[in-house]
Structure 1
Amino acid sequence: MAFLTKGLKMARMKKSLKIFAVVFVLAAVIAGGFYIVQRKPAGNEMTRGLIAYEQGNFKSALRAFQNQDLLSNPQASFILGAMYYAGKGVKADKERAFLYYEKAAVFGYAPAQTTLAVLYAQKGDWDNAYAYAEQAALQNDAEAQMLLGGWYEAGRGGRFNTRKAVLFYEMAAKNGMLDAKTALYLINKDGKMDYAPNSFAAKRWQRKIKRQKALEKKLHG
């Protein structure tokens, strides 16, 4: 298993895992498109809005999403937040984007909760960051689960807790997140100051990583 035992590669993996979710989610939010194509649209107007968005017709998309927002469609509210955050079809307005994200989050829309978690983390408001991330994670949002795993492992906001990190990494691993499985392998292999090494668990996660990589290689060549 040479691909998992080289010390330098391990160190790089550990560092990347701690920042993976924040960078991934925030970059997508800035791009204005994260989650938009991952969720099934509700109704014909949402469908038209999504098609217009993907075609770069942001003005038409904006009108469709605004109409749906008035009907309390949380997906539409979330997309409007992304558009205002990134300045897609409108003048960039991060304060207004926050309002749309919060409206979607109130309705329990996990992508909005995850996005707010990242944005609050960027502000250093860890109470809200953890609160929103946990709401999304409990709705089985894999990105939120990865966020929490990385934050608890790294002690972001003064909350170092490897057992909680393992809990959220395991949730993300069940959702097929390879990085979560790698994090679990490393934690169990090397241990932490508050978490004893577990060679049996490390080998189990090592096998899961190998199987997933082999499957992905077959699927994608």
Structure 2
Amino acid sequence: MNIARLAARVAVGAVATALATTAVAVPAAQAGAKKPLGTNSLAQVLLADKSGFDHNPRDFDVLTKAVLAVLEAKPDSAVKVLTDGNVALTAFIPNDGAFQRLVQDLTDAYPHLPSESATFTAVAGLGIDTVENVLLYHVVPGATIDRKTAVKADGAELTTALGPTIEVDVRHYPHYKQVRLIDADTDDRDPRVVVFDVNKGNKQIAHAIDRVLRPVDLD
């Protein structure tokens, strides 16, 4: 599949403007918290890792570069909300391995996963508007959804900052509960949460996922 296909299929329409008021159909998170949530932003968490591209598929080097690229090209992008720790949101953040699998799926050119550097080059090649929209599809504004809330939210529809929704799919196993996210692509495997509660205790919280959420069906 040609990598340009994703850029052609992802709409470049208007993004949500009232981020803090977007409705989220899940139980209120952090109810009864004994102390106010902190204001450390997710951008601060991402930028704390200064190692750059490496061989660790579980960190967020590609995501960090993608966010920075969007904000450099479009300083007023809605992606900027990730830098404002006063705004409550939940982000599902793809790790480097997730982006590598996306590029592998889109290009069919790699018998093995591409390097992180090659992965970012391919992602950036989709165009800033497409990268921006894909990033916004991973952000649920207006709610701090921690693990405790997420595992009780089976079937919940989450409204993303892009506009379309994603669905929470909780699967029960003998010793744990697995949270998956159902996106617009009906043919590929749904992303799984692999790390919960990144930036726990703050208004902006994140959960690492092992696939990139797709706002369109790539067939």
Instruction: Output the TM-score relative to the length of structure 2.
Output: 0.25
Rg larger in 1 or in 2?
1
Structure number with higher strand proportion: 2
TM-score (norm 1): 0.24
Relative contact order (alpha carbons < 8 A, sep ≥ 6): 1 or 2 greater?
2
Which structure dedicates a bigger proportion of its chain to helix? 1
